[in-house]
Structure formats: structure tokens, C-alpha cells
Amino acid sequence: MYEEAWVPSKIFKDESKLQPEYIPKRLLHRDEQMKALEEYFRPFLQKPGSIFVRVVFVGPSGTGKTAVARKFGERVNGLRARDGSVIRFAYVNCHANRTLFSIMQKVGRDLGLDVPRRGYSREELIYMIWNHLKGAKEYLIAAIDEVDYLAGVEGGEALYVLTRLPEITGDTVFRVGLIFVFRELGSFFRLDRSIQSTLQHNVIKFEPYTRAQLADILWARVVEEGALYESAVSDEVIDMIAELIGYDTGGRGDARQALEVLEKAGKIAEREGRSVILPEDVREAYSKVMPISRDVIANLKLDEKLLLLALARLLQRKRFVSKVPIGLLELEYQEVCEEFGVEPKRHTAVWDYVRNLHRMGIVTAERSGKGQRGRTTFVGLSAIPLQELERELILMIRRALKRGGGRSE
Ligand SMILES: Nc1ncnc2c1ncn2[C@@H]1O[C@H](COP(=O)(O)OP(=O)(O)OP(=O)(O)O)[C@@H](O)[C@H]1O
Ligand SMILES: [Mg+2]
């Protein structure tokens, strides 16, 4: 088993280039979005502070929203304007940073500030960042990713504050420009009217990728990026993945899913000792790819991961039902906690976890149960291969416990 680490792969040249965090040199078929974004920010970049830019990205999973935002960030970070001021970029994922306070902490850290963990109010934190920007003659562009989550918390109050930052700081200079990334238009419309109206003008749409576009993206990962040996893949295999996932051929048009299938297929071929990926590997890989991305799960808190693991196990055991009552889930959760030597959280916290996971679209939760002993909430997992999920979660939980921390960032 340990030998594997030293035997060079016949399939992968550089596997890190298939990971969801990796930003490729070129983002294919996203010129339009990138241009629109640059257009919106042009006045801010030319004369920093002159206008308050707020841009909204909307599009389903794996359509390149995060990639475009980060790529733009790479380009603008450190840019020096004519007046000598410097543009800085910050990136916040709202699944990892779920309150305004925590969002501002991440922004502060990205600016290189020594941010206090506690003892400050969120307003003080905002002033601290503002003072830094002012003093250092810096202007900030911040991408706030996975905003759908924020929109569902307290009527989007945190989001409201963000869209009004200049008024709150009382500054006439617009030191911050914002990119808000939404997955669903629905959560955008659930927002307060006044937030909607400040945001609705600068919306950039991300459409699911077509089969041909996905084939281009996959090939670029192989040829331009060198993630796999060219000899390990064929037109046949790439086209097969592109067709399975292409929006125009009935798939979700999700580039992350396509890259994951390619990676998994490569692993299967490798495991069989082959140097070429075959269509059969693609079929097997496709059946195992999770519709929810690994990074969404990686961002969960330790207790949420434990709860999700409990749910995955329960549903595997109860093969004939698709959802389980929350009371049963709580019992299983306590057992899972015991197994990993973690103190289980109390009943009310378990409820909060379910609500959060529901909000993130990971679990389903509905109240039902006619009559018998009142109504209770049933929790289910939509369309995720349970074994795969269980395996992934155990790895993540073990890693988190080893690090001694709950959450990955
Ligand atoms: N146009 C593209 N060219 C190359 N790679 C891409 C492109 N679009 C997306 N990808 C890759 O696909 C994966 C998913 O993209 P990304 O994370 O940007 O999706 P997303 O729209 O933010 O999805 P989600 O809503 O689930 O967060 C990433 O690994 C990214 O590098
Ligand atoms: Mg994203």
C-alpha cells in the first residue's frame, strides 16, 4: 500500500490541477462574464473611491462563478492606480464565515491585518478595516461567495449592511467594491426589496456549460494544464464525460462535476494498473460522483459533519425509506460522536445544524407525520450516493480531529 506513493502515476501528471480550488490559467467560455465584470469595475479601478460598485453573479453549481471572481481578484490584487493608491482583493465564502463579524474578520485577514478574534463589535471591526484602507491608501474589492446562505439568515440583515457600507462608515470615499455570488435567483428574490433594488442593476448570469464547452474545458486541463498525460485520455473518453454532463445533452452543465468524473475515472484506471482511461471507468466514476461538491461539505463545522455522517449511515441502514425522523437522527448522531470521542451537542444545537444544512441545500427537511404523536421533522438526503458521502465525511472528520480544530477554511 505504501509503495503506491513512490510509483509514478501513469495517468496523472499533476493531480492538484483537478482539484476544485485550483484556478486554471484560462477560463474558457467565460470571456463575456469577465468582460462585464471588468466593465462594472472600470471606473473604480481608474479612479478608486469614485463610485460604489456592487455586482451580482447568478448561476447554478459549477458554472465558473467562483473561478471568475477569484481570477478577477488575482488580476486586480496589487494594482496601482494613477494616484498611487493600491487595489486589494479579499475572498469570503459564507459557508465558512457565516456572520457579518466573521466575514469582516476574513476580509481583515486577507488585507493582512491582525484581526482580534473577540472583544470587538462588528461595527468596530468595520471601522478598523476602514481606517486601515484610509491610512494605507488602499481600496478593496471583496468577493462574497455563497451569499444564498446569508440571504436566508435574519432576513439577509448582514447582506443589507454590506450593501450599505459607505453609509455606515459615513465616508464619502467609496473604499470598497463588492461582488456577491448567488447560486439561485430564488434566494436573491427572497431578499428585502431595498437590498434587491440596490443589487439588481449589475447582474451577471452564468449559464450551465454545454457538451462542447465542457469538452473544451476538460481538454484544456489535460493539454494546457498538464493534469493528466495526454496518452491517458482519448477523444472518446472526454466526449463521453462532456455528453453525460453537458446541459444540452441532459446533464447539469456543471464543470466541477465533469472534472471530478475525469479524476475519479483516472483513479479507477490507475487502480487497475492501466495507463489509459476507458469508457467503462467513466461509467463507474459517473455513478459515484456526488452532486454536492466536496468543498461545500469541507466547509461544514465538525458537528455538522458528524450529523451528516449519522444521517448517511441511518439512511443506508434503512434502505426502504428516504427520510428519517429528527429524533432518531439525534440518537445516531450521539453514537457517531461517541465513536469519534467528541462530546455531542445538545438538542437545540442539533436542530440548528439541520436547519443550516437544509439552508445550504444539503439535506431535505420537512414536517410531517399525520396524527401519531404530533408532527415531527423528517430529514433526508437528496440524490447523494451515501457510501461515497460516508467515506468522504470520515476522512474529513479524522483530519479535523487530528488538526484539533473543527472547521476547515
Ligand atoms: N470556464 C472554465 N474553464 C475552466 N475551468 C472551469 C471553468 N468554469 C469552471 N471551471 C472549473 O470548474 C470547477 C467549478 O467551478 P466554480 O467553482 O467556479 O463553480 P461555481 O459556479 O462557483 O459553483 P458553485 O455554485 O457550486 O460554487 C472549478 O474547479 C473550476 O476551476
Ligand atoms: Mg462557487
Whole-number pLDDT of residue 146: 94
Ligand with smallest separation from the Cα of 252:
1
The residue whose C-alpha atom lies closest to atom 18 belonging to ligand 1 is: 64
Spacing, Cα 353 to ligand 2 middle (Å):
22
Spacing, Cα 61 to ligand 2 middle (Å):
7
Helix, strand, or coil (residue 256): helix
For a ligand 1 pocket test, name from 21, 34, 66, 289 the mutation site with the most ligand atoms within 8 angstroms of its C-beta: 66
Ligand with smallest separation from the Cα of 64:
1
Spacing, Cα 64 to ligand 2 middle (Å):
7
The residue whose C-alpha atom lies closest to atom 9 belonging to ligand 1 is: 64
Side chain identity at 289, as an amino acid letter?
V
Residue 80: pLDDT band with limits 50, 70, 90: very high
Residue 187: pLDDT band with limits 50, 70, 90: confident
Residues 90, 111 contacting (CB under 8 angstroms): yes
Whole-number pLDDT of residue 4: 56
pLDDT surpasses 90 at 191: no
DSSP state of 80: B
pLDDT surpasses 70 at 6: no
Residues 237, 279 contacting (CB under 8 angstroms): yes
Residues with CB under 6 A from ligand 1: 20, 23-24, 27-30, 59, 61-67, 183, 206, 217, 255-256, 259, 293
pLDDT surpasses 90 at 382: no
Spacing, Cα 184 to ligand 2 middle (Å):
12
In percent, how much of the chain has pLDDT > 70? 95
Whole-number pLDDT of residue 407: 44
Ligand with smallest separation from the Cα of 227:
1
Nearest to 265 by CA among 246, 247, 245, 288: 288
pLDDT surpasses 70 at 289: yes
Spacing, Cα 19 to ligand 2 middle (Å):
13
The residue whose C-alpha atom lies closest to atom 20 belonging to ligand 1 is: 62
Spacing, Cα 66 to ligand 2 middle (Å):
4
The residue whose C-alpha atom lies closest to atom 24 belonging to ligand 1 is: 61
* Joined grid coordinates for residue 296: 461545500
Residue 16: pLDDT band with limits 50, 70, 90: very high
For a ligand 1 pocket test, name from 26, 37, 256 the mutation site with the most ligand atoms within 8 angstroms of its C-beta: 256
Spacing, Cα 21 to ligand 1 middle (Å):
9
The atom of ligand 1 lying closest to the CA of 21 is 29
Residues 74, 141 contacting (CB under 8 angstroms): no
The residue whose C-alpha atom lies closest to atom 27 belonging to ligand 1 is: 61
The atom of ligand 1 lying closest to the CA of 64 is 18
Whole-number pLDDT of residue 5: 61
Domains of the chain listed by start with CATH number: 2-21+209-288 (1.10.8.60), 31-205 (3.40.50.300), 294-397 (1.10.10.10)
Bin 6: left if φ > 0, else alpha if -120 < ψ < 50, else beta: alpha
pLDDT surpasses 60 at 409: no
The residue whose C-alpha atom lies closest to atom 31 belonging to ligand 1 is: 23
DSSP state of 170: T
CA distance readout (Å), 37 to 45, 76, 107, 284, 376: 12, 12, 20, 39, 46
The residue whose C-alpha atom lies closest to atom 13 belonging to ligand 1 is: 256
pLDDT surpasses 60 at 108: yes
Spacing, Cα 232 to ligand 1 middle (Å):
23
pLDDT surpasses 50 at 408: no
In percent, how much of the chain has pLDDT > 90? 67
Whole-number pLDDT of residue 155: 76
Whole-number pLDDT of residue 297: 87
pLDDT surpasses 60 at 1: no
pLDDT surpasses 90 at 197: no
In terms of residues, how long is the chain? 409
Lowest mean pLDDT among 22-31, 139-148, 298-307, 374-383: 374-383
The atom of ligand 1 lying closest to the CA of 27 is 3
Q: For 163-180, what is the mean pLDDT?
A: 90
Nearest to 347 by CA among 377, 368, 371: 377
- For all residues of the chain together, what is the average pLDDT? 90
Residue 376: pLDDT band with limits 50, 70, 90: confident
Residue 406: pLDDT band with limits 50, 70, 90: very low
CA distance linking residue 354 with residue 350, whole number of Å: 6
* pLDDT: which is higher, 357 or 383: 357
